[in-house]
Structure 1
Amino acid sequence: MAIAHSLCFAQAKGGVGKTSIATNVAGLSAAADLRVLLVDLDPQGDCARDLGYPRDDGAETSAALLAGTEPAVLRNVRSNLDVIPGGALLGDPFLDALLDNRALADALPTRLEAMIRSAGDYDLVVIDTPPGHTSLNRAVLAVVTTVLAPVRLDASSIEATNDLGERFAKARALNPYLTLAGAVLFAVPVTAHRLEADARRQLLELLGSDALVFRSVVRYGVAASKEARDLGKLAFEVDEISEGARVARFAALRANRDGSQIVETTRFISNAGALADDYHNLTAEVLGFMREQHAEFERASA
């Protein structure tokens, strides 16, 4: 049975922003007083970098999926935000276990659903998926209600969305609650208006008229993104830190206009606010879509 109010960010290609979008949407939703569970199923475990908690090897998550044991749940990584961590043991060792035992692969959707439900009751479940892990991604599509595909502007990223669309069509036959929300453009250069328009046109052709290419985009913000991961902070948290540093810097300049004293202040990132706004707008659009989707399900089941 699909888990209500569940969302996965999935794409056949890596490096398209799945983890960054998943963590920022989860964190902003939690900051908006929703109870959120973030499930990291990627062997790289980079949700840890974005949120600043210690890296995990994924052993307990792997065991929960393969043997039905209780998962490790990191409580209150942020207020209202819990995390089931990923890690390296969800990579080759996990895949080898599935290849050696077909029954384990067949049981994955049931085990994944049980693992998520065992963590508690949440207003929103966000899943970060690994690229190319067919069995695990198939299990995710069997239990979530909403799929969103992050896409860069390059041709290979756009073409990979076609593979996801085909995978979605197969999963929809097993999970009638599954909805392909569409695509969100990631790492878009601020001045690349023509490239963005071309990418939107190609995505609409690939996904079909019923699919949605989100209005919100995540722009290319190298400094702010690097600073966020270095600090283990989300974009809106870096923006808050940066704004405080900006105010402090100008206050220091005003206090030392004669140049007789140098006051050190925390550096600020100039594009942190723009990146935070992008994630805020995207989160609002995602949550709005999911509210409408849930209302449709309620009407259909009435």
Structure 2
Amino acid sequence: MTSSVAPWDDSGTVEPAVNWSRLGNVYLFANGKGGVGKTTCSTHGAALLASDGARVLLVDLNGQGNVATMLGFANTEADDKGRNLYSAITAGAALSPVRDVRPGLDVVPGGPYVRRIAPVMAAEMGNTQSAKQVLMSLAMALQEISHRYGVIFIDSPPENQLLLQAALCAARFVVIPMKTDDLSRIGLREVAGDLRAMRELNPYVMLLGCCVFASGISSKKIREEHGKNVAADLGQNEDVMLKAFIRHSEAVGRDVPKFGRLAHELELEVANNPSRSAIRRGKADANAVVSKTSVGVAEDFAELTGEILRRGSQIRAEMIQEGVWP
């Protein structure tokens, strides 16, 4: 009986034939808890990098398919609801990203078909060899197209351990978005445990850092205390926390899926907001008003994305100098 997992080399080795040098540009956004900004941070970061001229791939491993909603192509012909991702991971099909969702930004959509992946993966994990093949399936698929992109961002799902582990096996750098609460720290510890375990298959995956999402501008002391707690959880120094954070804004959180545009795109529309008097006179639609807080939120995402890329580049340079970068 033919296995439904991705094809492997036929040399008889139990190790999947991964070329790790092809996956050095893969960044994974992960946390065991939902609602902490994984999709929002990965989508904004990918789009911002593309707007700066990079060729970027964004992979949505979520069953909700929120990336398509945020980018404004949900329920269109381009939105396959995760069919291609399902075929790539479970049957070895080639990944076929949606091209130029934004100039320079390609997307592998998520959606309901992604929810079917984990049961197939679980059914295939009958022994050590097949388990390795299953967990390396996303890495195998990505390495075939990674040369097309300067950066690859993966948005991982919460509470789906097999898909998270497959993502860890494909990633070089892991970014953990968090809120400043204990539940986010529980999710952090879950990811940290899986990261340690997956190093047996992907020896190059590493924690890049943690970032705070949806925090009040004036909550500096809360973020400082949170950073100390996270460092204690991980047994590391406070450098594990990225300095940039994303401010809390219910208005922007509402506007992004409503308009299918990201914070930096909404920022450009603020100047075109109708006046209050025009709305009162019925000359303009109040639903067309874009929140002015999108300006500050857009700046936050730009700072966070820049810090992520700078830290990744620094680690890469240090490892090349030491001769340990694959």
TM-score between both structures, scaled by the size of structure 1: 0.89
Counterpart residue number, 1:38: 58
Counterpart residue number, 2:12: none
* Secondary structure, counterpart of 1:230 in structure 2: helix
Q: Does 1:205 pair with 2:232?
A: yes
State how many pairs are aligned: 292
* Secondary structure, counterpart of 1:15 in structure 2: coil
Q: Does 1:133 pair with 2:160?
A: yes
Displacement of 1:232 after TM fit?
Answer: 0.8
Displacement of 1:157 after TM fit?
Answer: 1.0
Alignment partners' CA distance in 1, 2:26 and 2:65: 20
Give the AA of the match of 2:180: L
Counterpart residue number, 2:257: 229
* Secondary structure, counterpart of 2:243 in structure 1: coil
Q: Would the aligned equivalents of 2:64 and 2:112 in 1 still touch at CA under 8 Å?
A: yes
Alignment partners' CA distance in 2, 1:71 and 1:105: 21
Q: Give CA deviations for 1:167-217 in whole Å, capped at 9, x if unaligned.
A: 222223432322201210011022323322221111111123255101000
Q: Would the aligned equivalents of 2:214 and 2:247 in 1 still touch at CA under 8 Å?
A: yes
Q: Does 1:62 pair with 2:90?
A: no
Q: Would the aligned equivalents of 2:175 and 2:210 in 1 still touch at CA under 8 Å?
A: yes
Counterpart residue number, 1:289: 311
Q: Does 1:15 pair with 2:38?
A: no
Q: How does 1:1-302 map to 2 (within 5 A)?
A: 1-2=19-20, 3-54=23-74, 55-91=79-115, 93-102=116-125, 105-119=131-145, 121-209=148-236, 212-242=240-270, 244-246=271-273, 249=275, 264=284, 266-301=288-323
Displacement of 1:249 after TM fit?
Answer: 4.2
Counterpart residue number, 2:9: none
Give the AA of the match of 1:71: L
Alignment partners' CA distance in 2, 1:220 and 1:53: 25
Q: Would the aligned equivalents of 1:72 and 1:85 in 2 still touch at CA under 8 Å?
A: no
Alignment partners' CA distance in 2, 1:105 and 1:130: 20
Alignment partners' CA distance in 2, 1:30 and 1:105: 35
Give the AA of the match of 2:299: D
Displacement of 1:301 after TM fit?
Answer: 2.6
Give the AA of the match of 1:274: G
- Structure 2: unaligned runs, 5 residues or longer: 1-18
Displacement of 1:263 after TM fit?
Answer: 5.3
Displacement of 1:76 after TM fit?
Answer: 0.3
* Secondary structure, counterpart of 2:101 in structure 1: strand
Give the AA of the match of 1:126: F
Q: Would the aligned equivalents of 2:82 and 2:112 in 1 still touch at CA under 8 Å?
A: yes
Q: Would the aligned equivalents of 1:19 and 1:46 in 2 still touch at CA under 8 Å?
A: yes
Q: CA-atom RMSD, angstroms?
A: 2.2
User: Bigger shift: 13-22 or 116-125?
Assistant: 116-125
Give the AA of the match of 1:176: P
Q: Give CA deviations for 1:44-100 in whole Å, capped at 9, x if unaligned.
A: 111111111134321221111011012331000011100111111211x22222222
Give the AA of the match of 2:54: L
Q: Would the aligned equivalents of 1:153 and 1:195 in 2 still touch at CA under 8 Å?
A: yes
Alignment partners' CA distance in 2, 1:209 and 1:96: 35
Q: Would the aligned equivalents of 1:5 and 1:294 in 2 still touch at CA under 8 Å?
A: no
Give the AA of the match of 1:43: G
- Structure 1: unaligned runs, 5 residues or longer: 254-258
Alignment partners' CA distance in 1, 2:61 and 2:158: 10
Q: Would the aligned equivalents of 1:58 and 1:89 in 2 still touch at CA under 8 Å?
A: yes
Alignment partners' CA distance in 2, 1:61 and 1:75: 15
Give the AA of the match of 2:44: N
Alignment partners' CA distance in 2, 1:149 and 1:52: 25
| Percent identity of equivalent pairs | 27
In proportion to residue count, which structure has more helix?
1
Alignment partners' CA distance in 1, 2:151 and 2:282: 48
Alignment partners' CA distance in 1, 2:31 and 2:289: 35
Q: Would the aligned equivalents of 1:224 and 1:235 in 2 still touch at CA under 8 Å?
A: yes
Q: Would the aligned equivalents of 2:56 and 2:106 in 1 still touch at CA under 8 Å?
A: yes
Counterpart residue number, 1:256: none
